[in-house]
Structure 1
Amino acid sequence: MPATVLVLGGTAEARRLAEALTGRAGLRVVSSLAGRVAAPVLPDGEVRVGGFGGPEGLARWLRAERVAAVIDATHPFAAHITASAVAATTALGVPLLVLRRPGWRPEPGDDWRWVPSLPAAADTLAGLGERVFLSIGRQGLAAFAGLAAHWFLIRTVDDPAPPLPRRAHLLRDRGPYTVDGELELLRRHRIDVLVTKDSGGAATSAKLVAARRLRLPVLIVRRPPAPDAPHVETVAGALAWLAGVLG
């Protein structure tokens, strides 16, 4: 019977990991997507879409599928999914690895202001500018809904749910983005300040380069605390860990 590996996915790293593992002899790879994006980019191999029903539901699924190892390659801000993975694998004694790409680091010329949360970002906007580029996805936009003095450019893959800021323009788009494209976007909408999360990676980092060139302040939400589990930053590291676990 092949060893079953569950990849909690939704990121480019998770797709690269599934691609590297799919088709290997003696291995069954299942990628799990939360289902929050209407038309996700699907990884290679077997795919499961939708939640498990919390830690207890995930534990039941792991037991029923006889999962040998779990690799959490979700978004750095998917804290609830990660917490469920830690709880479920700990309860069953299933090996768990967290694969997280490195966060962004400021470079000369950057004007970054680190904040602990989206509500803190909303509280910090006063005095930084009136035209705000919200590049935070569609979760957490309610934190800015009460800011009537600001105008917001909101970019998401799918339409966000209310409440939303009263003065806002919605832009549906999916990365990766280019520096020239981000510069044109910021200039066209006369953006004063950028708000984003420390997602890391190259797919959406062009906006930071554009903000640097235009000398715009950037509010960056810090990542949630790292879980108590083995951690790697690369797909190669995840493959090496899995080889050690499975022998």
Structure 2
Amino acid sequence: MDKRWWLAVLCCALFGSLKSQIITGVVNDSLSGHPLPSATVTLLAAQTNKTIKGSRTNDQGQFTLNNIPPGKYLVTIASIGYRKQEVPGVVVGTSKSPLRLKTVSMSKEQQTLKSVTVTAPAKLLDYRIDKMVYNAEKDLSAQTGVATDLLKKVPQVSVDVDGNVELSGSSSIRFLINGKPSTAFGSNIAEVLQSIPASQIKSIEVITSPGARYDAQGLGGIINIILKRNTARGINSSISLTAGTLLENGSLNVA
């Protein structure tokens, strides 16, 4: 019989053995025990810390990560107003049954000012039909740092150690300033985000399913940074941001 036929059969058998598995879990509030909806769940490779897949909990605090190949992973859970939790040593095999993680209980993040404990407001996220809005100006812990620090607080958004941003596991993102494209993002996006002071950001809008009015760029989603002071008027206008940033002159021109 033709050797090529046997080779094809062998390849099919090998590929068939490389099955994927589903990871499921539940996230709740550590004090009340109530389900925690809209928490961001991120799956990272244990050795490289690279983002593999992202998800978000539903109204019952449940999440599902589909089609995960065999390997060892780290699962992180983040939610506005709560301390970030990690589930290390998650081993995925070839079982057809879902891999169910233990319930993850999230503790609220607190900030102490002059011996007075202030709990971060619970309503920092606004879910709309076409987008999710993170109201940075209402977050007491978001008044310092830069845009990169705020993006780490946004559900479905992950930032690696080099400042590279991914949305639901995709790096194909289009960045906007006050709803308009900026030439500044045509260079090094990580440096630009490091140059925008968090104190000048009013909110961050995340659009995971861009409509027809957006071009092919940013198929993975849109991140729109809304500034507190909008001095951009027209396509050729500019916004001057001064904050002792990475740029030599301490200012960023985002025309």
TM over 0.5: no
TM class by smaller structure:
under 0.3
For the pair shown, which has the larger CA radius of gyration, 1 or 2? 2
More helix by share: 1
More strand by share: 2
Q: TM-score, normalised by structure 2?
A: 0.24
Q: TM-score, normalised by structure 1?
A: 0.25
- Relative contact order higher in (CA < 8 Å, ≥ 6 apart): 1
